[in-house]
Amino acid sequence: MSILISEVGPRDGLQNVSAIMPTEAKKDWIKAEAAAGIREIEVGSFVPAKLLPQLADSAEIVAFARTIPNLVVAVLVPNARGAADAIRAGAHKITLPLSVSETHSLRNLRRTHVQVIEEARTIAGMISALPEDDRPHFEGSLSTAFGCTLEGSIPDSQIASLAAALMDAGCDEVGLSDTTGYANPVSVRHLIKLVRGTVGQNALTGIHLHNTRGLGLANVLAALEEGLDTIDSSLGGLGGCPFAPGASGNIVTEDLAFMLESMGLDTGVDLDKLFAVRSIIANALPNEPLYGFVTDAGIPLGFESRTGKAVLSA
């Protein structure tokens, strides 16, 4: 079974650090991770630079990333204006977040549910007007799906209704996002079944998880057992959500890749090359802590990844 690891560090990770990573360091990061076998990278977000100066160079980063063969270049957009910029830059995949918590939606995007759905409809119209070969993939992400630090738990009926509304507005698929780190394996299974029962099996393939309370990889396993095949993660565990208090910690790409390879699943990732990418981030962001168990403990003696290459052992 092949699993797609979607790296979100250059967007979700960098938007949560105070320092601004130099553009050339970002390019080195993306190029090195792609060379390690990561096939999809969320390289930036098209938001006003005054809100997220860390991502002000997203158009340049997209243009660079598009020169890397076989890499899906993904971005996040908050609205139709951002989507227009992303389309102009040449992004292959566009994700629009819709928080199922309206309080969080107003805090994050300054828009109600109805307004975000209208933005989705506008974006879908923009995409459909393009030549078929030039159309980016359009995902609507159900943020705070497992609970909100501002509202608490969100009713199933509201989550299902919003998932259906995104698809009706013209999204190609929806994704589940544990923005606040509230998910557990039971809730992951439950929401996957709920949303797929509403929008269909093929309209939900990916999930974005945080490791805020140490359940990130357990939640990944639950998602895999329910049939999802795309998992978001961040190199070194960088990231979270600046508009959801306490929502720290994406799952660590290195730990995720090692777990999947240990299970005999195909990620296409060269672990040695992936681990080496950490030095690029460490040099560019010397005051930012990086996380990861496998890089601290090392690879077990005799372990061999599915790439067929020997990897470092502790």
Looking up residue 248, the CATH number of its domain turns out to be 3.20.20.70
Whether 241 sits among the annotated catalytic residues: the reply is yes
Q: In whole angstroms, what is the distance from residue 304 CA to residue 185 CA?
A: 28
**SS3 (DSSP) at 22:** coil
pLDDT 10s digit of each residue in the chain, 314 long? 899 999 999 999 999 888 999 999 999 999 999 999 999 999 999 999 999 999 999 999 999 999 999 999 999 999 999 999 999 999 999 999 999 999 989 988 889 999 999 999 999 999 999 999 999 999 999 999 999 988 999 999 999 999 999 999 999 999 999 998 999 999 999 999 999 999 999 999 999 999 988 899 999 999 999 999 999 999 999 975 444 444 458 999 999 999 999 999 999 999 999 999 999 999 999 999 898 999 999 999 888 776 655 555 54
Residue 247 contacts residue 210 (beta carbons within 8 Å): yes
**DSSP per-residue string spanning 74-88:** EEE-SSHHHHHHHHH
Q: In whole angstroms, what is the distance from residue 237 CA to residue 239 CA?
A: 6
- Res 245: pLDDT: 45
- Res 247: pLDDT: 43
Beta bridge partners of 208: 177, 232
Residue 262 contacts residue 277 (beta carbons within 8 Å): no
Please check whether residue 305 lies inside any domain of the structure. Answer: no
Residue 173 contacts residue 203 (beta carbons within 8 Å): yes
Please check whether residue 304 lies inside any domain of the structure. Answer: no
Range of the domain at 198: 4-297
CA separation, residue 254 to residues 15, 44, 223, 277, 282 (Å): 20, 20, 18, 10, 15
- Res 108: pLDDT: 80
Give residue-wise pLDDT tens across range 104-157. Answer: 899 888 899 999 999 999 999 999 999 999 999 999 999 999 999 889 999 999
- Res 249: pLDDT: 81
Q: In whole angstroms, what is the distance from residue 86 CA to residue 93 CA?
A: 9
Give residue-wise pLDDT tens across range 198-229. Answer: 999 999 999 999 998 889 999 999 999 999 99
Please check whether residue 114 lies inside any domain of the structure. Answer: yes
- Three-point CA angle 51, 171, 206, nearest 5°: 80
First to last CA, the chain: 28
Please check whether residue 215 lies inside any domain of the structure. Answer: yes
Structure tokens at 202: 């093929």
Q: In whole angstroms, what is the distance from residue 261 CA to residue 307 CA?
A: 9
Give me the number of domains the chain comprises: 1
Please check whether residue 226 lies inside any domain of the structure. Answer: yes
Q: Which residues of 79-94 are buried (b: 16+ CB within 10 A; e: fewer)?
A: bbebbebbbebebbbb
Please check whether residue 313 lies inside any domain of the structure. Answer: no
- pTM for this one? 0.94
Catalytic residue from among 34, 145, 215, 241 = 241
